[in-house]
Amino acid sequence: MAADITPRVFAQSIQQQGCVLLRGVIPQSDLVVFQARAREAYARRDAEFARGNMPEEFSRTMYRFGHVLGSELDAPGEQFAIVQQLVLKTKLIQLLFGFYGSAVGFILNNCLPRRQDPQQLKNPNVPYHQDAAFMGDTFFILNAWTPLMMCGDDAPGLEVLRNGTLTTLLHPPHWQNSDKTPYEQIAFEPDWVEQTYGLEKCWHPVMMPGDVLVFSNFTLHRTYHTSAMTEERISLELRCAALTPQLEQSGWGIMKVEAAV
Q: By CB under 6 A, name the binding residues for ligand AKG.
A: 114, 116, 126, 131, 143, 145, 158, 221, 223, 235, 237
Of 90 and 116, CB closest to ligand AKG: 116
Residue 19 CB, shortest distance to ligand AKG, in Å, is 12
Amino acid at 183: Y
**Given the complex with ligand AKG, which of 75 and 228 has the nearer CB atom?**
228
| Closest approach of ligand AKG to the CB of residue 215, in Å | 8
CB of 4 to ligand AKG, least distance (A): 25
CB of 6 to ligand AKG, least distance (A): 25
Closer of 8 and 212 to ligand AKG (Cβ) = 212
Taking the complex as a whole, the smallest distance from the CB of residue 77 to ligand AKG amounts, in Å, to 28
Residue number, 52 or 73, with CB nearest to ligand AKG: 73
Nearer to ligand AKG, 157 or 210 (CB): 157
Q: CB of 171: closest distance to ligand AKG in angstroms?
A: 18
Nearer to ligand AKG (CB atom), residue 131 or residue 211:
131
170, burial (CB in 10 Å: exposed 0-12, middle 13-18, buried 19+): middle
Q: How far is CA 50 from CA 4, 15, 42, 53, 248, in A?
A: 45, 45, 12, 8, 38
- Of 93 and 133, nearer to ligand AKG (C-beta) is 133
- Residue 6 region, left (φ>0) first, then alpha (ψ -120 to 50), else beta? beta
HEC letters along the chain: CCCCCCHHHHHHHHHHHCEEEECCCCCHHHHHHHHHHHHHHHHHHHHHHHHCCCCHHHHHHCHHHCECCHHHHCCCCCCCHHHHHHCCCCCHHHHHHHHHCCCEEEEHHHCEEEEECCCCCCCCCCCEECCHHHHCCCCCCEEEEEECCCECCCCCEEEEECCCCCCCCCCCCCCCCCCCCHHHHHCECHHHHHHHHCHHHEECCCECCCCEEEEECCCCEEEECCCCCCCCEEEEEEEEEECCHHHHCCCCCEEEECCCC
The least distance separating ligand AKG from the CB of residue 66, rounded to whole angstroms, comes to 7
